[in-house]
A and B are shown apart, each in its own frame.
Chain A
Amino acid sequence: MSVEARERRQPWILLSPALTAITLLLFIPLLFIVVYSFWLRTAVGGVEVTFSTENWEQALTDPFYRYILFSTLRIAIITTLFCAILGYPAAYFIARAKGNRTILLLLLMLPFWISYIIRTMSWINILGVSGAVNTSLLSLGIVTEPVQMLYNEATVILGLVHFLLPFMVLNVYVSVEGIDRSLEDAACSLGATRLEAFREVTLPLSLPGLAAGGLLCFVLAAGTYITPLILGGPRDAMFANLVFEAIITQLNWPLGSALSLLLLVVLGAVVAVYNHFLGMSQLSRGLA
C-alpha cells in the first residue's frame, strides 16, 4: 500500500470504533423504535408484530397526553426565562470583573459538578415541612403551622432552574468574554451612557450566547422526569414521566416508543428552528 493510501485510511481506522458504537447503540436503536411504535402490545403483555397506527393516534389525540405536553413546554419555557434572568447578569459580571475571572467562573460552575439528584433533593431541606424556611417562620412566630411549599409546579421549576443555570452562565460568559471591551468604551466616548452602550453594543453581540444557553436549558428541562418525581406533586408530571410510566411501569413498549419519538420530534423541531437561524457553532463552543 502506498504511503498516501495509508494516510487516507488512517483517520477512518481511528474513527471506526466510535462511529460503530454510535451506529449500533444509537442510530439503529432509534430506527428500531420507529418500527416498534407501529407494533401493538397484546393482552398477555407480549408484542404483536403488525402495522398499526393505534399508538400514534393515542399519543397525538389523548387529551391527557396533550395537556402534559403543553405543560411540559410551559415549564421548560419558564425555566429558560428564569435561567436567562438570573444567569445573564451573573455571566456578565464574571466576564467583566476585575479580579480572577477563572476562579469566579469555576466557583459558579462547581454546582454543575455536584450530583444532580443531591442538588434537586437539597430543596427539600430548605422548603420541606421541617426545612429551613418553615423552622425559621415557626420560631419567629410568623406562622403557627408549617406551610406546605413543596410538591407543586413552582418547586419543579425552581429545581430545574437550579440544575440548569450553570449551562446558561457558561454560554453567556463565553459570548460576553469574546466581545472587545473597547467597543463599549468607544460608544461611551461618543456620548452614550454606560447603559446605552450595553444595550446597543454588548447585548446584541452577546445574543448568540444567550440563545445557545437558552436552547440547552429548554431542551434539558423539557426532557427531564426526575425533577418532577422529587419536587413535584402527583399532578406535576412532565412528558418524560409519561414515557417512563409506559416503558417501566406499564411495560407498554410500543406506546412508550411512540411517546418518546413524539418528544424527540417536538424537541427536534425546536433545535431545527434554532439551527436555521443561528447555526450550531455557538452551541459547540459553549459545550467545549
Chain B
Amino acid sequence: MLERYSTAASTYAHWIDYQFLLIAVLVGFWLIVAEAVMFWLIFKFRAKDGRPTQYITGEESHLKRWITIPHLLVILCDIVIIVPAIMVWYNIKQVLPPPDETVRVIGQQWAWSFQQAGADGILDTADDIRTVGELHVKVNTTYHFELMSRDVVHSFAVPAFRLKQDALPGRIITGWFRPNRVGTYDIQCTQMCGIGHALMAGRIIVETQQDHAAWLLQNSSPALAGQQVTPGTAAAGLTMAEMRP
C-alpha cells in the first residue's frame, strides 16, 4: 500500500509496508463500522412527533454487551497490531545484522556529510572518501551507519529505505540498512534544525557492484585524499541574508 506513494528500495521497507497495510485494514474496518452505526442511529432515532425517548441508563446487561463485545474485539485487534509492530521495530532498530560496510553520517546546519572507507576498506585511514550531500552505496550490501551531529538535533531520513533516525550532538547512534534497488533516492532532515532546514537535502545513490567500484577507484586516489567534496545541495541559491527571518 505504501509503495504506491513512495518507492521501496531497502530490505526492510516491505516489513513496514506490510505493517502499514495490516493496520489500515483493521482500523479501516472499525472506522467504517463505527461511522456507519453512528449515522444509522442518527437517522433511525431522528426526532418524530409522538415517539417517546427510551429511558436507558446503560447499566442493563442485555444492552451493555453491545459495548463489552466490541470492547473486547478492540483489545484483540490491538494485540494483532502490536505484536508485528514490535517485531518490525525489533528487527529494524534493536538487532543489527553483521555489516558488510560501515559509513559515517554527519549532520550539521544545513548539510549531510558522509565518510566511508576508500579502496583499503578500512574507515579512518588516509584514503577515506568524504562527500557532502551525496552518499554512494552498493546494492544488496548491508551497511551500518554511525550517525552524529555537529550542532543541533537533525534527523537522518531516507523515505525510500523507510529509514529514520535522529542525530544527536554528543552521541553516535548506530543503525543499518540494506539497499536492494539501484537508483537515486532523497535524504531528508526531518527534525527542525533552523532556517536552512528545508535545504538540508541529500541523495543516496545505490549502484551496482561494478559502478560502485568504478566510483570508488575514481575518488580514492591518494592525491585526492581529503579533497573529494562534491558540491552539496545545502543553501543552494540562497544567501544567508535572504534566509534570515
Do A and B share a complex? no
